[in-house]
Amino acid sequence: MYSCPFSDDQVFGIGGTLAKYSSEGKNIISLILLYGEKSEPWLKEDYLIKARVKESQTVDQYLRIKKTFFLGIKEKDYKSLNDEKVKQKIKNIILKYKPVKIFTHAPDLHLEHRLVNKIVLEIFDELKLDSSLYTFSIWSLVDVNKNFPRLYVDITKTFDKKIKAIKKFKSQWESIFLLLPVAHLKARLNGLKNNCKYAELFHKIR
């Protein structure tokens, strides 16, 4: 299971691992909290909401994600994001599917990333889960986190599928343009540390 604020975060951060796990027959649950309707200010928000949901469904089908949940919170609606009803929905999904691994954002410079990280950690500790909780970074090229064990996942065989999945988010062409070189370089650097061509890095925080 993975939990992200926006619909393209999971592919940039964990797309190769998702493709690898689904090819191995693992069931993957996607939880997306925010619509991200303000990501392209020149487009109408209602149009962008529909576009981002449709693109995410297309990508999840391509990556063979078992189930996708949209909590439908408006971007920058921090009050709703911290609402107990929203947290209860997340708890219910976790308790129903009992994930072995949970992936979410590292607390980077992006406010929504930090908020989702905080919410997921609070829920994880409150439920006292036996699962493993991992974080991933999207923007950072350098692994500066020395406090937690690392998990490197070899995505050499699924890296091309990750890139193709990223390109399906056509409404997010600006982010894709900026982040594709980062995605390539990060995967290559992590691959060098894992003795393979491409890899994704996670930190086990619980």
**Residues pairing with 104 in the sheet:** 3, 135
pLDDT tens for each residue of 49-74: 788 889 989 999 999 999 989 887 76
pLDDT band of residue 90 (cuts 50, 70, 90) is very high
Separation of alpha carbons 101 and 111, rounded Å: 24
Give the predicted TM-score (pTM) of the model.
Answer: 0.88
User: Structural domains in the chain?
Assistant: 2-204 (3.40.50.10320)
pLDDT score recorded for residue 78: 67
Tell the residue number behind the tokens 């650097």, with chain if given.
Answer: 189
Tell the residue number behind the tokens 């599928």, with chain if given.
Answer: 161
DSSP 38-62: TSSTTS-HHHHHHHHHHHHHHHHHH
Separation of alpha carbons 191 and 198, rounded Å: 4
